[in-house]
Amino acid sequence: MKKQIVLILVMAMAFTQNIFAQNASDQSFNSVITAYINLKNALAADDNGKARDAAIDLYKAIDKMPADKFSKNNRSTWSKFEKKLSYDAEHIMESSDLEHQRGHFISLSKNIYAVAKAFNVNTSKLYYQFCPMADGGKGAYWLSETDKIHNPYFGKKMPSCGSTKETLYPPN
């Protein structure tokens, strides 16, 4: 009987540790999303200084992701996108040129969307939005915390250009 109780306690502890580890990685990814949203909002406001600051926060949040605590699938996804996300965040934080920052934001947004979709741990709704005129008429996407369009590619010049293409809901 004592062996069974000890076994149950050990299994419960392992399960609890796994849940806490997953919660820590979920919270870390939400820190990445928060920094990304701050960057998007700075670009939408044509504020290259705030964009640089937000990119620094994003770069740090990416660096702090506890990949060793991810599920196997999320670890595979993260290893595929981590360097790409860091690369774009680094280029944005090292530049004061809005157009250069926005150019890197295009690929950053594409990759952050892929990770957000795969992880499915966002704590609030995220809106996947698209501007057909961005990137020289090729169009470009971004994630937003609101369904109202605040275009990061044209800023104050065309703040409402775009539409919501998808809503990422928090998991139940």
pLDDT value at residue 49: 98
Helix (H), strand (E), coil (C) string for 61-118: HHHCCCHHHCCHHHHHHHHHHHHHHHHHHHHHHCCCCHHHHHHHHHHHHHHHHHHHHH
pLDDT value at residue 9: 40
pLDDT value at residue 172: 76
Asked if 28 and 69 touch (Cβ cutoff 8 Å), the reply is no
Supply the pTM of this predicted model.
0.85
Q: What are the residues facing 141 on neighbouring strands?
A: 130
**pLDDT averages per 10-residue partition of the chain, 172 residues:** 49 40 63 97 98 98 92 93 98 97 98 96 94 97 98 97 96 81
Which residues lie closer than 8 Å to 38 by C-beta, 6 or more apart? 50, 54, 57, 58
Query: What residue type is assigned to position 163 of the chain?
Result: S
- The sign of the CA dihedral 148, 150, 154, 157 is positive
Going by DSSP bridges, is the β-strand pair 140-144/126-131 parallel, antiparallel, or unpaired?
antiparallel
Asked if 36 and 127 touch (Cβ cutoff 8 Å), the reply is no
Q: Which CATH class is domain 2-121?
A: mainly alpha
The residue behind tokens 């594409």 is: 110
pLDDT value at residue 28: 78
Q: What are the residues facing 70 on neighbouring strands?
A: none
